[in-house]
Structure 1
Amino acid sequence: MARFRALKTELRSMLEQPDWEASLQHIAAMPAAQTVGPLMSFFLFGGEMKWRAVTAFGLVMGKLAQEDLEQARIIMRRLLWHMNEESGNIGWGIAEAMAEAMINSQTLANEYNRMLHSYIRETSDDDNYLDHPPLRRGVYWGLGRMAKKYPELIRPSVRALSWGLQDEDPEGRGLSAWALGFIGTETNIPALKSLLDDTCPVELFENRKVHCTSVAQLAQQAIEHIQSHHTVD
């Protein structure tokens, strides 16, 4: 227990530094069995610390998947359990961590991308749809993050992300628009244009920095991405 507390303090100190990115490779080189728990505990902090911990977690998982794929799968299943209401956990940062793990491992992406998608897909059967708006934001962000790297893998999520443009949660709408910018088509543009007067603020973590933007700005950016891609095609 003392070792765990000491490691948690060490990791927190590294991630709180202005040059926290310089510590990422060092954290990734540490044994995953020791770092996964402390990093997950930092998801609850919110803000910059959550995002930094999610980033470090993804690198740890990418390395683990190369060295011990089965152990990486066990941790991914642990994340899925945390998203389950029966687990008794709220799930803060879990969807984001799943996405970041998949960003760092094509194998994990191939195996678990559908699970991430399931959290915003409503069906007539028992489904995984998340009723809590802050948790849906994490899924929208995760799908957008993955869509930048694996557009073909995430393209089946276009319909669900389109529904997300009408989410009751403003940040959910903005993050859905951002994600659609990477995999949407011209058929999504009218719905995106309907958000151009939506000035609700959105926090977006991109390129390892937190950006303060708005639903309207993200919708405009998505429209430009889609039109640019269509022009190139």
Structure 2
Amino acid sequence: MARFRALKTELRSLLEQPDWENSLEYITSMPATQTIGPLMSFFLFGGEMKWRAITAFGLVMGKLAKEDTEQARIIMRRLLWHMNEESGNIGWGIAEAMSEAMLNSKILANEYNRMLHSYVRETTDDDNYLDHPPLRRGVYWGLGRMAKKYPDLMLPSTRALSWGLQDEDGEGRGLAAWALGFLGTEANVPALKTLLDDNTDVELFDDRTVCCSNVAQLAQKAINRIEQRRMDA
């Protein structure tokens, strides 16, 4: 327990620094089985610390998946359990962490990508749809991250993201629009245009920086990306 507290203190100190990115290589050099727990505990902090911990977590998982794929799978199943109401956990940062892990491991991406979009896809069957808006935001963000790197793999998520444009939660709509920009086609443009008057503020973590935007701006950027892909085709 003393070792865990000491490691948690060290990791927190590293991630709180202005030059935190310079510590990522050092963090990933540590045994993954020791750093995963402390990093996950930082998800509850919110703000910059949450995003920095999620970034580090993804890199750690990427390395672990190369060295011990089965252990990485065990941790992914642990994340899935945290997303389950029966676990008693709220799931803060879990969807985002899942996406970062998959972003850094094609093996994990191939195996778990469909689970991610199941959390924002309502069906007539017993589904995984998340009723809590802040958790859905994490899924939309994660799908966008995945779509940016693996657009072909993530094509099945397009429908769930198009539904997300009508999410009751403003931030969710904005993040769904942002994500859809990496996957959508001209068929999605009319729905995106309905958001161009939506000025709901949205916090977006992109390129390892937290930036402030709004739904309309993110929808317009998504439209621009889709139209640019059409011209490049």
* Matched residue SS, 2:12: helix
Instruction: Report the alpha carbon displacement of residue 13 of structure 1 after superposing the two structures with TM.
Output: 0.2
Instruction: Report the alpha carbon displacement of residue 28 of structure 1 after superposing the two structures with TM.
Output: 0.6
Instruction: Report the alpha carbon displacement of residue 231 of structure 1 after superposing the two structures with TM.
Output: 0.8
Paired residues, what number? Answer: 233
* Residue identity matched to 1:153: L
Q: Deviations over 1:136-168 (max 9, x none)?
A: 000000000000000011111111101100101
Aligned partner of 1:107 in structure 2 is 107
Q: Are residues 1:195 and 2:195 paired?
A: yes
- CA distance, structure 2, for counterparts of residue 147 and residue 157 of structure 1: 9
Q: Are residues 1:231 and 2:228 paired?
A: no
* Matched residue SS, 1:152: coil
* Residue identity matched to 1:52: R
- CA distance, structure 2, for counterparts of residue 111 and residue 102 of structure 1: 9
- CA distance, structure 1, for counterparts of residue 128 and residue 74 of structure 2: 20
Alignment of 1:130-145 (within 5 A): 130-145=130-145
Instruction: Report the alpha carbon displacement of residue 117 of structure 1 after superposing the two structures with TM.
Output: 1.0
- CA distance, structure 2, for counterparts of residue 118 and residue 105 of structure 1: 20
Aligned partner of 1:161 in structure 2 is 161
Aligned partner of 1:19 in structure 2 is 19
Aligned partner of 1:35 in structure 2 is 35
Instruction: Report the alpha carbon displacement of residue 221 of structure 1 after superposing the two structures with TM.
Output: 0.1
Q: Deviations over 1:57-104 (max 9, x none)?
A: 000000000000000000000000000000000000000000000000
- CA distance, structure 1, for counterparts of residue 26 and residue 204 of structure 2: 26
Alignment of 1:38-117 (within 5 A): 38-117=38-117
RMSD value over aligned CA atoms? 0.4
Q: Unmatched 5+ residue regions in structure 2?
A: none
* Residue identity matched to 1:140: Y
- CA distance, structure 2, for counterparts of residue 25 and residue 159 of structure 1: 37
Q: Deviations over 1:181-205 (max 9, x none)?
A: 0000001001101100100100000
* Matched residue SS, 2:196: coil
* Matched residue SS, 1:211: strand
- CA distance, structure 2, for counterparts of residue 141 and residue 155 of structure 1: 15
* Matched residue SS, 1:168: coil
- CA distance, structure 2, for counterparts of residue 154 and residue 140 of structure 1: 12
* Residue identity matched to 2:199: T
- CA distance, structure 1, for counterparts of residue 175 and residue 117 of structure 2: 14
- CA distance, structure 2, for counterparts of residue 145 and residue 230 of structure 1: 21
Alignment of 1:202-221 (within 5 A): 202-221=202-221
Aligned partner of 2:149 in structure 1 is 149
Instruction: Report the alpha carbon displacement of residue 232 of structure 1 after superposing the two structures with TM.
Output: 0.6
Q: Unmatched 5+ residue regions in structure 1?
A: none
- CA distance, structure 2, for counterparts of residue 222 and residue 54 of structure 1: 24
Aligned partner of 1:172 in structure 2 is 172
- CA distance, structure 2, for counterparts of residue 62 and residue 152 of structure 1: 20
